[in-house]
Amino acid sequence: MKGAMEKVREIWREGRRVGKEDPRRIVHAFKVGLALALVSSFYYYQPLYDNFGVNAMWAVMTVVVVFEFSVGATLGKGINRAVATLVAGGLGVGAHHLASLSGPTIEPILLAIFVFVQAALSTFVRFFPRVKARYDYGILIFILTFSLISVSGFREDEILDLAHKRLSTVIMGGVSCVLISIFICPVWAGQDLHSLLASNFDTLSHFLEEFGEEYFEATHDGDVKEVEKKRRNLQRYKSVLNSKSNEEALANFAKWEPRHGQFRFRHPWKQYLAVAALLRQCAYRIDALNSYINSDFQVPMDIKRKLEEPLRKMSSESGKSMKEASISLKKMRKSSSSDIHVLNSQSACKALSTLLKSGILNDVEPLQMIALTTTISLLIDIVNLTEKISEAFLELESAARFKNKKKSTVSSEKSGTVSTARAIQIKSHDDDHHVVTILCDDDISTTVEQSRGENSVDSCHHVAIKIDDDDSVHEKHEDGEIHVHASCVSYGQTNASDILDSGNERNSSN
Amino acid sequence: MKGAMEKVREIWREGRRVGKEDPRRIVHAFKVGLALALVSSFYYYQPLYDNFGVNAMWAVMTVVVVFEFSVGATLGKGINRAVATLVAGGLGVGAHHLASLSGPTIEPILLAIFVFVQAALSTFVRFFPRVKARYDYGILIFILTFSLISVSGFREDEILDLAHKRLSTVIMGGVSCVLISIFICPVWAGQDLHSLLASNFDTLSHFLEEFGEEYFEATHDGDVKEVEKKRRNLQRYKSVLNSKSNEEALANFAKWEPRHGQFRFRHPWKQYLAVAALLRQCAYRIDALNSYINSDFQVPMDIKRKLEEPLRKMSSESGKSMKEASISLKKMRKSSSSDIHVLNSQSACKALSTLLKSGILNDVEPLQMIALTTTISLLIDIVNLTEKISEAFLELESAARFKNKKKSTVSSEKSGTVSTARAIQIKSHDDDHHVVTILCDDDISTTVEQSRGENSVDSCHHVAIKIDDDDSVHEKHEDGEIHVHASCVSYGQTNASDILDSGNERNSSN
């Protein structure tokens, strides 16, 4: 008896947890209850019952099977079911008619063959990946309806009546599901995917912004609870590692959804998946980094300190770029300064390579060197990925038609960075997309001549150039500076390169 | 018209691809067709039809919905459906009876309330993770059956008759599914999971065994096609990266399956998942390693060569250990020499650290150093993971009761290794699990005194000791030698350590 009480209490706790995790679940349960109660009582009353007979139960069945958590999933199943019922009904009647022409002895054999062929073919088609993703349920219903109708054993006029009644009850059930799911506290899969991506950006940026603090903090004295909490917060990125199947399901559902809120019918959900995949790759690197923070074997602080500035900057600027993306997603406005953060992180990358070249680590022990350089290499990876993420995100922004934020001069908003930066975009004359972004320290006010061919940038600390040009082949520097995995800053060599010969850190000309 | 032909041809190609990928899919399609044709014609004949009436269609419906690809999934759904129908039928009749007592005006209201409460509660319970994993379908059927019966509007004796007929048709449909799925070319989810794990071991081991070749090969001259093919073969590991959801689904299905082949009813499927998760972690490291093989920036060969021996050995021995595991899985026999390979890779790890300590890399440029040490660090990670995998696999072997291969002296089977090895297990006297594995070169025949307290091993190259002891706290070496992430070889210090003081490579005593 006591055990049973314990069990009930445990279930209750689990229920509270599940409800707290996403309160919309409770609302969803009520919505399903409401839809079922409505449809049931609708059919309980005699006039309708007489009209539809036992077919009324198809409405109940449709509600139970079709009503899903999000609008997209419900719509997808509903449309699948309605279309499949219609098509299979037609074919089933046809098969029945064909069989009945052949006389009473061959009829059952013919019907069995029809059912067999239809079921085998449809079942096989369900293995096609593209079909499985979107139409699995429809094909299931197709098999079901076709089999039921073709072997029902009714006469043809009865069958037509049956098919008509069944279709209308299915549609009634489906429509009430869809209406309730759209108009009572709707759960949009698209909105969920959008928020999930934003929150993934958020958690990764949180880690990257805090990484410097964690890595270069000598010891954790102070409140143990505080440290625990911080560390737990840092570990939130782990949810990103396994978000793939969730994202794909949401994107699949979202494709069924009509225009809602700020999302159009053909919102670029695919691009969401592309960005999310890159973010996940970044999360793998972060997972590895995290193991270095928590590792028992620590590189002595005095060695770490030598590289503190560029390493801190690489991680925090990457983090800021992701933060920008997250804000941009939440507001559905184009981000303005995320580019700058990418460039900042890349310039920190360059500074790091200069530092390393200067032989600052020559007297470090090999085993410490391994731990240190692995951290470095992971951070370089993350900087490279941040660039890719930023590019993919720009595509997303324009494909999703985020609102523009017109600003040609922006300063990075965080007060944490010492130097604020300015970015100027120079659009070249022709159709090719030459976007030259020049990044200067702000404390020295320089004027940038934007005319083509001459461009005097006097005291820029670093000039980072990115040129998108589909015609010219991108060549890479041969100095291998920071090209550990991929190039950290990749210069493109194009026919517009004549405007770029000033810039005191471009140390090699092609 | 031409477009349509093209479309048809494309579908045909896709069908061939899907069928080739797993020919059992074609068989499955035929099985479903057969089951449906059987059940349909069964119910087409009058005597049965008169007996069951329209309820006959429940058999068809059950077959369509319950028949899944694997036996486990089919059984799971079938049992879910049968139990849910039974319970919901009972409760539905009860609800109907209760409502009918209250008089004709309140009855429909009461029924609607019952349906509402039942549907809302059940829908909410479906969100519980444990319920969702195994009983989702059962609860769906529960809601459906309860609603249908309680609002059916029949008199009570009719309902009992209805419930009885429906249950028997459901059971008939379910049983024919299960029988066909078990006795005609059965697809066992458990067997699939087993093979998947073995093939994952295989692909990772293939990469690790080939890694040295790829990494230390100066240029790829020779047949381009050959090189291409080799590289593609190497990339097979990528399938392991995303195998998680597949494995979990298979394990869930496998739990429903009865004893089959060499698998008992309660085969330790959970442990399969644990091993698979570790393998996946290893695959992430391999993914990173792979990017270094293909990177544009290469460490000069003369620098790589300095570390060639230990690096090659670390990777190939880890690979061999996984190969052993794969063979052991396929034969369902305990592996004998996988331990030795783990120890070999760890000793290579030690050799590497000695090399590094000797300052062999002192004159390497920092940027080359980064690329090189990241490779090293990844390989160390892989060696550590291989140990963990091997431990988890041992657990799996004993939990799954793999057959023993009684051999106290084994030689590593590959002809590639120069020295063959011998492993001797010493069981200590008491209940604690002190397993001491001593590994010697075979060409020098040494006798190992197995008496406690004295143990003269003369010319062992390396003595690796692993002691499982729950009571004593494992202390780690403080020299930090190869403890980059975790310790590469972790010595446990226990009360049995007095038997271990010989062994010329244990360079630090606690």
3-state secondary structure A311-364: HHHHHHHHHHHHHHHHHHHHHCECCCCHHHHHHHHHHHHHHHHHHHHCCCCCCC
Give the minimum alpha-carbon distance from B301 to chain A in angstroms, rounded to a whole number: 16
Q: How far apart are CA B281 and CA A362, in angstroms?
A: 33
| Phi–psi pair at A333, nearest 5 degrees | -120, 150
Q: Give B105's pLDDT tier (boundaries 50, 70, 90).
A: confident
Q: How far apart are CA A86 and CA A170, in angstroms?
A: 10
- Considering only CB atoms, which chain B residues are within 8 Å of A481? 367
Of the listed ranges A199-208, A230-239, B50-59, B408-417, the least confidently predicted one is B408-417
Tens of pLDDT along A146-191? Answer: 888 877 766 667 777 777 777 888 888 889 999 999 998 899 999 9
Residue A116: closest CA among chain B residues belongs to which residue? Answer: B33
- Considering only CB atoms, which chain B residues are within 8 Å of A142? none
DSSP, collapsed to helix, strand or coil, labels residue A427 as strand
The pLDDT assigned to B305 comes to: 83
Residue B195 sits at the vertex; the CA angle it makes with B191 and B200, to the nearest 5 degrees, is 150
Q: Report how far apart the first and last C-alpha atoms of chain A are (Å, whole number).
A: 83
Q: How far apart are CA A175 and CA A166, in angstroms?
A: 14
pLDDT in tens, chain A (510 residues): 667 889 999 889 999 999 998 889 999 999 999 998 888 877 666 555 566 666 677 888 889 989 999 999 999 999 998 899 889 888 888 888 888 888 878 888 888 898 999 999 999 999 998 888 889 999 999 999 888 887 776 666 777 777 777 788 888 888 999 999 999 889 999 999 999 999 999 999 999 988 888 888 755 556 677 777 777 777 888 888 888 888 998 998 998 888 888 888 788 888 999 999 999 889 988 888 887 777 767 778 888 888 888 888 899 999 999 998 898 888 888 877 778 888 888 899 888 888 887 877 777 777 777 788 888 888 888 998 999 999 999 888 888 888 776 544 444 343 333 333 333 333 333 333 333 333 333 333 333 333 333 333 333 333 332 333 333 333 333 333 333 333 333 333 332 233 223 333 333 333
- Considering only CB atoms, which chain B residues are within 8 Å of A65? 140, 144
Helix (H) or strand (E) holding A55: none
What is the bridge-based pairing of β-strands A435-441 and A421-427? Answer: antiparallel
Which tops the pLDDT comparison, B410 or A338? A338
Give the minimum alpha-carbon distance from B198 to chain A in angstroms, rounded to a whole number: 23
Q: Do A374 and B371 touch (CB under 8 A)?
A: no
Give the minimum alpha-carbon distance from A483 to chain B in angstroms, rounded to a whole number: 6
Taking CB atoms and an 8 Å cut-off, how many pairs form between chains A and B?
Answer: 241
Picking from A21, A64, A137, A181 by the largest number of B CB atoms within 10 A of its own CB, the best residue to mutate is: A64
Residue B380: closest CA among chain A residues belongs to which residue? Answer: A370
Q: In sequence order, which residues have a C-beta less than 8 Å from that of residue A222 and are 6 or more positions away?
A: none
Which tops the pLDDT comparison, A407 or B137? B137
Q: How does DSSP classify residue A333? A: B
pTM over 0.80: no
CA A56 to chain centre: 41
DSSP, collapsed to helix, strand or coil, labels residue A278 as helix
With a cut of 50, say whether residue B205 has pLDDT above it.
yes
Q: How far apart are CA B460 and CA B469, in angstroms?
A: 25
The pLDDT assigned to B71 comes to: 92
Q: Do A369 and B369 touch (CB under 8 A)?
A: yes
Which tops the pLDDT comparison, B59 or B50? B59
Q: Do B25 and A124 touch (CB under 8 A)?
A: yes
Q: Do B148 and A60 touch (CB under 8 A)?
A: yes
Q: Do A61 and B144 touch (CB under 8 A)?
A: yes
Q: Which of A151, A353, A361 minimises the CB distance to B40?
A: A151
| Percent of chain B whose predicted confidence (pLDDT) is above 70 | 74
| Phi–psi pair at B426, nearest 5 degrees | -110, 120
With a cut of 70, say whether residue B406 has pLDDT above it.
no
For chain B, the average pLDDT equals 74
Q: Which of A40, A108, A113 minimises the CB distance to B44?
A: A108
Q: How far apart are CA A445 and CA A420, in angstroms?
A: 12
Q: Do B29 and A121 touch (CB under 8 A)?
A: yes
Intervals of CATH 1.20.58.220 along chain A: 189-403
Q: How does DSSP classify residue B89? A: H
Class of CATH domain B189-403: mainly alpha
DSSP, collapsed to helix, strand or coil, labels residue A424 as strand
The pLDDT assigned to A180 comes to: 92
Q: How does DSSP classify residue B260? A: B
Q: Which of B36, B125, B377 minimises the CB distance to A115?
A: B36
Q: In sequence order, which residues have a C-beta less than 8 Å from that of residue B229 and are 6 or more positions away?
A: none
Which tops the pLDDT comparison, B56 or A465? B56
Q: Do A148 and B30 touch (CB under 8 A)?
A: no
Of the listed ranges B109-113, B279-283, B293-297, B449-453, the least confidently predicted one is B449-453
Q: How far apart are CA B201 and CA B327, in angstroms?
A: 9
Give the minimum alpha-carbon distance from A349 to chain B in angstroms, rounded to a whole number: 12
User: Which residue blocks in A358-506 are alpha helix, DSSP H?
Assistant: 366-399
Q: How far apart are CA A268 and CA A255, in angstroms?
A: 9
The pLDDT assigned to B179 comes to: 92
Q: Which of A33, A117, A353 minimises the CB distance to B119?
A: A33
Q: Give B467's pLDDT tier (boundaries 50, 70, 90).
A: very low
CB B31, CB B146: distance < 8 Å: no
Q: Give B405's pLDDT tier (boundaries 50, 70, 90).
A: low
Q: Give B1's pLDDT tier (boundaries 50, 70, 90).
A: low
Picking from B50, B165, B290, B374 by the largest number of A CB atoms within 10 A of its own CB, the best residue to mutate is: B374
The pLDDT assigned to B161 comes to: 78
Residue A23: closest CA among chain B residues belongs to which residue? Answer: B124
Q: Do A37 and B119 touch (CB under 8 A)?
A: yes
Q: Do A485 and B297 touch (CB under 8 A)?
A: yes
Write the CA distances from A450 to A420, A424, A425, A426, A437, integer angstroms.
21, 9, 9, 7, 11
Tens of pLDDT along B14-36? Answer: 999 999 988 899 999 999 999 98
The pLDDT assigned to A408 comes to: 43
With a cut of 50, say whether residue B119 has pLDDT above it.
yes
Q: Do B119 and A32 touch (CB under 8 A)?
A: yes
Write the CA distances from B71 to A62, A242, B244, B500, integer angstroms.
27, 28, 20, 52
Q: Do B54 and A57 touch (CB under 8 A)?
A: no
Helix (H) or strand (E) holding B437: strand B435-441
The pLDDT assigned to A197 comes to: 93
The residue type at A290: N
Hey, CA dihedral for A303, A304, A305, A307, is it positive or negative? Answer: positive
Q: Token pair 């509660």 is at which residue?
A: B121
Q: How far apart are CA B116 and CA A37, in angstroms?
A: 5
Q: How does DSSP classify residue B344? A: H
Q: How far apart are CA B175 and CA B78, in angstroms?
A: 8
Picking from B127, B132, B242, B490 by the largest number of A CB atoms within 10 A of its own CB, the best residue to mutate is: B127
Tens of pLDDT along A199-252? Answer: 999 999 999 988 888 888 755 556 677 777 777 777 888 888 888 888 998 998
CB A340, CB A408: distance < 8 Å: no
With a cut of 80, say whether residue B461 has pLDDT above it.
no
Q: Do A15 and B124 touch (CB under 8 A)?
A: yes
The closest alpha carbon to A203, from A317, A94, A322, belongs to A322
- Considering only CB atoms, which chain B residues are within 8 Å of A152? 57
- Considering only CB atoms, which chain B residues are within 8 Å of A485? 291-292, 295, 297
CB A390, CB A342: distance < 8 Å: yes
